[in-house]
Structure 1
Amino acid sequence: MELYDTEEQQVEAIKDWWKENGKSVILGAVVGLGGLFGWRYYQDSVTAAQESASESYTKAVQQLADNDADGKAALQSFIDANKDTQYAVLAALQLAKVQVEASEFDQALAQLEWAKSATEDQALTSVIAFRIARLKLEQGNFDAALAELSAISDETWAGRVAELKGDILLRKGDSESAYTAYVEAQQAEDASQTLQMKLDDLAK
């Protein structure tokens, strides 16, 4: 670093430095401030979009809950318009539930398959895979149901997965393997109260 003997020399040095670097400093400041305001605008836009999606989701689900004649169509429209949000995934789960209740199994399965592909949330993925497995069991597609269950690795689902596996194997006619699955389910933390009855029925 150079040392300057007088204040005038310092001023001249500053002027010279500014001539050489002033434009770069100004440009950097403009870019920096632009980036800051741009980022804030982006965040505000994202927040506004999320709030709008949340409000629309609530209205669509309420319309479905009110047994509105157009409820399913309204919820499907919401899903189509918000496919990049997790609200659309939740809406698909709601719609699939209503479709199952109406015995529209193929449509419900399509909703669940889409929801599974549209989320990276591990908790949601487990819920969706479990529902797909149950639906495939109802359709008599036993091997596909077992394959879907095998993809659930979350330990908190161990009991429910093993119990449903037992149900599937029992429907397939493999009572011995079903009994083994029920015993495994009974040892899990999330074991259901119906397991003992299922084991007792198989033991008869």
Structure 2
Amino acid sequence: METYRSEEEQVEALKRWWDENGRSTVIGIALALVGVFGWQGWQEYSQGQRDAASDIYQQLLQAAGGAAQSPAQQGVAERLAQRLKDEYAGSTYAQFAGLQLARLAVADGDLEQAESELRAVLADASSGGDVALVARQRLARVVAARGETDAALALLDVSGSHPYQASYALARGDILFGEGRRADALGAYQLARQLESESPGQLNLASLERKLARLSPVSPEAPEPAPTAAEVEQ
């Protein structure tokens, strides 16, 4: 009888607990399940979005690669880039698309459009991240080409170390050379070579050596080679 009474008491206690806490417990479990399945659904959706954006970007790269030879391909590249910016705004792929649109604009000689695209990328990209650093360097070259040398050099003045220091020094040298500041340009090129030796893979060393040779002191018997347009633009 004692065992039976104890079991009855346990059942009664369970009933009282359920009356007091059962509804909130069920709601809590339901909310937890919704959270779990909702998170899984969101993860699947996000992955699907990334995969779709990646596919469009690969098509964009292919079209952009043939844009120089085919106006039709350039049109395709521009449409795909704009689609990425519209449908995947805020994503890294949208920022990549902006970089590609800027490159196509430079090829067309539309520096104003190129600057607009690069400033938009710079505004959206994480400060100090790879995309922002690449956009800043390209923007500096575009701004310099528009005749705003001081603004261009200011864009390249980034504090702290980063993976693009050698290419930043090279860009600074090119901008200074374009302004006729030969000694300053030489110093920038020398710094670029030093930084490249410390972290190889950023620069075309053959091109850099030609620029250094062009600005290094030469004997009167050895005339200084005239720069090519391609070298100045690098």
TM-score by length of 1: 0.85
Percent identical among aligned pairs is 32
- Between the aligned partners of 2:164 and 2:150, the Cα distance in structure 1 is 20
- Between the aligned partners of 1:29 and 1:88, the Cα distance in structure 2 is 39
- Between the aligned partners of 1:59 and 1:200, the Cα distance in structure 2 is 41
Q: Paired residue for 2:189, among 175, 182, 192?
A: 182
CA contact (8 A) 1:129 1:152 kept: no
Change (3 A) 1:60 1:193: closer
Change (3 A) 1:178 1:75: same
**Structure 1 portions without partners, runs of 5+:** none
Query: Could you tell me how far 1:74 is from its partner in structure 2?
Result: 1.0
Query: Could you tell me how far 1:20 is from its partner in structure 2?
Result: 1.0
What RMSD, in angstroms, separates the aligned Cα atoms of the two structures? 2.3
* Alpha-carbon displacement from aligned partner over 1:56-90 (angstroms, at most 9, x marks no partner): 33334444445326325413531233222211111
Query: Could you tell me how far 1:162 is from its partner in structure 2?
Result: 1.5
Counterpart AA for 1:194: S
**Structure 2 portions without partners, runs of 5+:** 219-234
Asked whether 1:20 is paired with 2:20, we answer: yes
Q: Paired residue for 2:76, among 49, 66, 71?
A: 71
Alignment of 1:1-204 (within 5 A): 6-66=6-66, 67=70, 68=72, 70-78=75-83, 79-120=85-126, 122-151=129-158, 153-188=160-195, 189=198, 190=200, 192-202=205-215, 203-204=217-218
- Between the aligned partners of 2:23 and 2:173, the Cα distance in structure 1 is 73
- Between the aligned partners of 1:25 and 1:155, the Cα distance in structure 2 is 52
TM-score by length of 2: 0.75
- Between the aligned partners of 1:47 and 1:76, the Cα distance in structure 2 is 20
- Secondary structure, aligned partner of 1:150: coil
Change (3 A) 1:166 1:65: closer
- Between the aligned partners of 1:183 and 1:11, the Cα distance in structure 2 is 86
Query: Could you tell me how far 1:25 is from its partner in structure 2?
Result: 0.7
The more displaced of 138-147 and 49-58 is 49-58
Change (3 A) 1:109 1:47: same
Query: Could you tell me how far 1:119 is from its partner in structure 2?
Result: 1.7
Query: Could you tell me how far 1:138 is from its partner in structure 2?
Result: 2.2
Query: Could you tell me how far 1:201 is from its partner in structure 2?
Result: 2.4
CA contact (8 A) 2:144 2:175 kept: yes
Counterpart AA for 2:25: V
CA contact (8 A) 1:119 1:125 kept: yes
Aligned residues: 200
Query: Could you tell me how far 1:150 is from its partner in structure 2?
Result: 0.9
